[in-house]
Amino acid sequence: MRLAIFALLMAVLAFAYQGNAAEFTCNSDVPTESYSPEEQALVDTYWDEVLTYLGAYHAVLTQPSGRCLDSAEAVIQTYDGHTGTQQSRCIMRYSDVKQVMSHVKAVLDEPEKAKACFDPQKPDANPMLYTPSVTVQQSTKVSRWLNRPLLTDYYREMGGEVGQSGLELNKNFLEITTRTNALPHWPTDVSINGLPVLWSSVGWLPMYSKRPDAINKRFRGGYLYAEVMGPYGNLRIDTIDEEKVEAEIGLTVQLFNSAYPFHHHDPQEIYINLTLPKCVDQNTYALMHWDNPALIQERRNDGWAVHVDGASGAWKQWFRNLNTRTGWLAYIERNAIHAFFLKEGCNQTIENSGLVTSWARTTSRTSDQNTHICEPALAGGESMMPWTKGICHIRE
């Protein structure tokens, strides 16, 4: 009898285990490397911080905030032309976010399996991934071991206005990224203060440095992006239980006194502000659906030309202050038009001089992943500010 009960118990346990066990397949470009025990210890440290970040990311979106009882509340429009107010929604009600969260949860439930898809992205195979500066590189054992090329060298060589702002951002990367406050919404400090190995070891990309279509030179040099999980990140999972993994989760940094022009893209996006601003309107952003009545839509054969005209102070209605308590989370629907405007003001010093965010996209397999920057309405325009007339081409 005892044996029978034991056997039954084992069967129940085996069934329960199977119910939990997910099957992971990695992207085909994840290398199978063998590390020395010393190297393995460094890889393990890096992986631990990646897991902490993903765990905190899962918690921050699924825990109630604002008016939402079962999810975080996200701003989905900073200005709705129908109502004249900001618009928000419970973020977990979007199916793409829900799916990304279920995949992140699967990673957290079985980290050892997911770890097979973790790649520290050593520089010999990834020469296009950088570390901001020598100070950042020297700050942890893992970043010293990875020894990526430095963005300070990259921008020094580039020169010109883009090179200059790139140097300003990367030389001061630590000052800019440490003035953050992940609380009150995050369960742990996911900024560089709490996860120094992750921030110093992840591969940073000078995303707009060679993109003249982003117009603003100070912004083009003063912007960095890094991918932790996703098609170009450290954790590259192809499928979980035969379902394609669409998550793309990373980090961004933007230099003060710079304007990220209005832009849009097919994949939906999530931004969480981590910077503690020195004055209330230091960092601002605008987010509007392309069919927002505050904009002018013109039908074209292949979609819509959307005229964005922030002149005569209209832009001031659209842009909202970014802080870490309210308006800290934004969800960007497909082709929603958005921009980030960081002012020079409030006795700016380099120690408090940018915008640091946790960034994600939720449909990383959509065919068009490109970020489309809206064009200046007047050809040859040299800057794209919140008040500059622009045209965004939304394709169907």
Q: Shortest gap between Cβ of 311 and Zn ion (angstroms)?
A: 23
Kindly report the length of the chain. 396
Q: With respect to Zn ion, which residue has the nearer C-beta, 121 or 335?
A: 335
**Residue 264 C-beta: closest distance to Zn ion, Å:** 7
Name the residue with the smallest CB distance to Zn ion: 269
| Tokens, residue 319 | 């842009």
In the complex with Zn ion, the residue whose CB is nearer, 142 or 339, is 339
- Closer by beta carbon to Zn ion, 174 or else 251: 251
Stretch that binds Zn ion, among 52-60, 265-273, 362-370, 380-388 (CB under 5 A): 265-273
> Which residues have a Cβ under 8 Å from the Cβ of 167 and sit 6 or more positions away?
152, 155, 156, 221
Residue 278 DSSP symbol: S
Residue number, 227 or 269, with CB nearest to Zn ion: 269
- Is the preceding peptide bond at 149 cis, omega within 30 degrees of 0? no
* CA–CA dist 359, 336 (Å, integer): 16
Measured from the CB atom, is 156 or 334 closer to Zn ion?
A: 334
Q: Among residues 201, 178, 195, 198, which one has the least CA distance to residue 132?
A: 201
CB of 314 to Zn ion, least distance (A): 21
- Closer CB to Zn ion, 73 or 269, in the complex: 269
Half-sphere exposure of 74 (CA within 13 A, CB side): 25
Q: Which stretch binds Zn ion (CB under 5 A): 53-61, 80-88, 134-142, 262-270?
A: 262-270
Least Å distance between CB 332 and Zn ion?
Answer: 6
Cα angle 167, 173, 179 (rounded to 5 degrees) comes to 140
Site string for Zn ion, 323-352 (x = CB under 5 A): ------------------------------
Can residue 73 be called a binding residue for Zn ion (CB under 5 A)?
Answer: no
Cβ proximity to Zn ion: between 119 and 248 the closer is 248
The verdict on 248 binding Zn ion (CB under 5 A) reads no
Closer to Zn ion by Cβ: residue 240 or 339: 339
Instruction: Based on the shown chain and the rule CB under 5 A, indicate whether residue 119 belongs to the binding site for Zn ion.
Output: no
Q: Considering the complex, what minimum distance in angstroms separates the CB of residue 239 from Zn ion? A: 26
Is 269 a binder of Zn ion (CB under 5 A)?
yes
**Of 289, 362, 357, nearest in space to 329 by CA:** 357
Whole-angstrom Cα distance, residue 71 to residue 92? 6
Q: ∠ CA 221-222-227 to the nearest 5 degrees? A: 100
**Minimum distance, C-beta of residue 267 to Zn ion, in the bound complex (Å):** 8
The interface region with Zn ion, picked from 202-210, 220-228, 261-269, 361-369 by CB under 5 A, is: 261-269
What is the DSSP code (8-state) at residue 125?
Answer: T
Please name which of 27, 91, 387 lies closest in space to residue 235, comparing C-alpha atoms: 27
Q: Tell me which DSSP letter residue 222 carries.
A: S
Closest CB 357 distance from Zn ion, rounded Å: 11
Asked whether 140 and 197 are in contact (CB, 8 A), the reply is yes
Provide, rounded to whole angstroms, the least separation between the CB of residue 395 and Zn ion: 16
Q: How far apart are CA 384 and CA 375, in angstroms?
A: 8
Compute how many residues bind Zn ion; rule: CB under 5 A.
1
Decide: is 49 part of the binding site for Zn ion (CB under 5 A): no
Beta strands in 230-282 (DSSP E): 237-240, 243-244, 248-255, 258-264, 269-273
Q: How far apart are CA 370 and CA 205, in angstroms?
A: 15
Q: Of 168 and 269, which CB lies nearer to Zn ion in the complex structure?
A: 269
Binding site for Zn ion (CB under 5 A): 269
